[in-house]
Structure 1
Amino acid sequence: MHDLDQLAFENAPMGLALTEHRVIRACNDTFAQMFGFEKSQLLGQSFRLLYGTDQEFHQIRDIGLEPLKQDLPYSDERLMLTADGGHLWCRFRARTLTPEDPLARIVLSFTPIDNTPAGPSLTPREREVLTWLSRGRTSKEIAQLLELSPRTIEDVRARLLRKFKVKNVAVLLARLSGFGEGGTA
């Protein structure tokens, strides 16, 4: 990489990573610091390291593949795991370098939506449900995805609302994205 290119990559104001088949091949210091790792701890590691469960890691794989196959960027918001077991709500963007096999080589960017560590801790199940809620899924759809009953998902939703002291999912998601009062994640 040219010196100026390397300088720009390393000092970008967002976390950047290059993956091959979901294995981190390159990342900048911002990415490593954002997730609480040394860069050397991330290189060569599966992205599984940043997800709470194997199920979550596998389910999220196919989200966004269609635009990537069409050589279009993909973007969403996701709740990621940090080195200390905490959670980071971030805006995720991806562009593949290989549309014929989108996961073969992807450039990713991550921007924290809210850096504030305040807020309740979440169980792995709460993280999964919150991730799917942020993608606009209903309780019934989430139940099907996670192979649980809709009642179980409703219970988790209710627990999330109590933990964050909000009245509905829209307010919860607004708060987590930094647009609601307090903006805590």
Structure 2
Amino acid sequence: MTEDEKTLLQAFQAAPVGIVLTEDRVIRACNDTFAALFGHPRAALTGQSFRLLYASDQEFDQIRDIGLAPLRDSGSYTDERLIRRQDGSQLWVRFRARTLTPDTPLARLVMSFAPLPRPAGPQIGLTPRERDVVDGLSRGATSKEIARRLALSPRTVEDVRARLLRKFEVRNATELLARLTGPGISG
């Protein structure tokens, strides 16, 4: 390995954001920051499907579908999202993706994940309770499931959900989640 290659590898590993290279949604390489964000040892992630990092198949598919059209159109996609860590906790991050294969965007993709100190964009106005409900909705949980996890009544969760729909002027949870992740910023 040349000195330049060693320097590049060192920069990749020490980057202040999580960086990952995937091929058809399988992790081929990632840096230590990415592994730490998700709470997994880096060596355990290489060769794993990105499905490992999502609570359900439905969430795994939804995330893919949100960014696929922009990746095809411009080669890149950006949003803010909740990620699920190995311990089950969630973290708001700025997500960026750039395809290396524009004709088949997911064939080879470079992504970065940068923790956000607080929700950005439309999420700034979320209360902690609203954030908990959005977290549940983003995982595809029902109001009853969210209520059980938060030790609340389903009616309380429904009230928070209704308040969120009014607050963001949307008709349903799907539109709410789309509004909170935004259309992304290509670049």
Q: TM-score, normalised by structure 1?
A: 0.65
Distance 1:53 1:129, change over 3 A: closer
Does the residue aligned with 1:41 lie in a helix, a strand or coil? helix
| Pairing 1:56-95 to 2, within 5 Å after superposition | 56-95=59-98
Given the alignment of the two structures, is residue 113 of structure 1 paired with residue 109 of structure 2, yes or no? no
3-state SS of paired residue (1:64): helix
Q: CA distance change for structure 1 residues 161 and 35 in 2, over 3 Å: closer, same or farther? A: farther
Alpha-carbon shift at residue 112 of structure 1 (Å)? 0.8
Secondary structure of the residue aligned to 1:19 is: strand
Q: Deviations over 1:109-162 (max 9, x none)?
A: 00011389xx666697433369xxxxxxxxxxxxxxxxxxxxxxx985634689
The reply on whether 1:42 has 2:49 as its aligned counterpart is no
How big is the alpha-carbon RMSD for the aligned residues of Structure 1 and Structure 2? 3.4
Alpha carbons of 1:67 and 1:168: their partners in 2 closer, same or farther (altered >3 Å)?
closer
Aligned position for 1:158: 159
Q: 1-side partners of 2:162 and 2:16: how far apart?
A: 32
What residue is the counterpart of 2:21 in the other structure? 18
| 1:136-151 equivalent positions in 2, closer than 5 A | none
- Structure 2: which 5+ residue stretches go unaligned? 120-127, 142-154, 170-176, 182-187
Cα distance in 1 for partners of 2:162, 2:31 equals 35
- Cα pair distance change 1:112/1:160, threshold 3 Å: farther
Aligned length: 145
Matches within 5 A, 1:98-137: 98-114=101-117, 125-128=136-139
Tell me how far apart the structure 1 counterparts of residues 157 and 21 of structure 2 sit (CA, whole Å).
34
The question of whether the paired residues in 1 share the 8 Å contact of 2:77 and 2:98 is answered with yes
After TM superposition, what 4+ stretches of structure 1 lie above 6 angstroms from structure 2? none
Q: Which of the pair is proportionally richer in helix?
A: 2
Q: Give the distance between the partners of 1:57 and 1:18, measured in 2 at CA.
A: 17
Q: CA deviation at 1:66?
A: 2.4
How high is the sequence identity, in percent, across the aligned residues?
A: 51
SS in 1 for 2:27: strand
**Bigger Cα displacement from structure 2, 66-75 vs 24-33:** 66-75
What is the letter of the counterpart of residue 79 of structure 1? L
Find the aligned partners of 2:103 and 2:10 in 1 and give their Cα distance.
30
Deviation at 1:9, TM superposition (A): 0.6
**Structure 2 match to 1:8:** 11
Aligned to 1:33, what secondary structure does the other structure show? helix
Q: Is the deviation greater in 9-18 or in 121-130?
A: 121-130
The residue number in structure 2 matching 1:181 is: none
Provide TM-score, normalisation by structure 2. 0.65
